[in-house]
C-alpha cells in the first residue's frame, strides 16, 4: 500500500505546518531535520518502543501508530492553542 500524503486544506500552509512541527519537537528535545521534519516520528517511535520502520508498516496496531502520531500532533495542537490564547490576550 502506498503512503498516504495528507494534504492541508490550504496547500500553501504545508511549509508553515512543517516549521511548526520542527519548532515544537525541538522544544520537546528531539533532533529534527528541517528538510525532513516527518523523520522525527522515527525518534518518537523509538522512545515509545514502537517498531516503526521506513517503508511499509502495515503490521503496526492502531494503538502503536497513535502513540507516535499523538505525541507529534498533540504537541502541535497544544502549541497552536497556546498561540491563539496569546493572540486573544493582545486584543482589547
C-alpha cell at 8: 492541508
Domain presence at residue 26: yes
**What's the total number of domains in the chain?**
1
Rounded to an integer, the average pLDDT of 64-68 is 94
pLDDT, residue 30, reads: 93
Give the residue from 49, 15, 47 showing the smallest Cα distance to 34.
15
For 16, the domain range is 11-90
Domain presence at residue 3: no
Give the list of residues 6+ apart from residue 33 with CB closer than 8 angstroms, or none. Answer: 39, 40
What average pLDDT does the chain have?
91
Name the pTM for this structure. Answer: 0.81
d(CA 16, CA 89): 23
pLDDT, residue 1, reads: 45
67 pLDDT above the threshold of 60 = yes
d(CA 28, CA 72): 10
Amino acid at each position: 500500500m502506498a503512503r498516504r500524503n495528507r494534504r492541508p486544506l490550504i496547500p500553501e500552509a504545508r511549509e508553515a505546518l512543517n516549521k511548526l512541527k520542527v519548532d515544537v519537537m525541538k522544544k520537546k528535545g528531539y533532533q529534527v531535520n528541517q528538510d525532513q521534519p516527518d523523520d522525527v516520528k522515527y525518534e518518537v517511535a523509538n522512545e515509545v518502543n514502537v517498531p516503526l520502520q521506513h517503508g511499509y508498516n502495515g503490521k503496526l496496531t492502531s494503538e502503536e501508530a497513535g502513540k507516535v502520531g499523538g505525541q507529534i500532533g498533540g504537541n502541535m495542537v497544544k502549541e497552536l492553542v497556546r498561540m491563539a490564547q496569546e493572540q486573544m490576550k493582545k486584543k482589547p
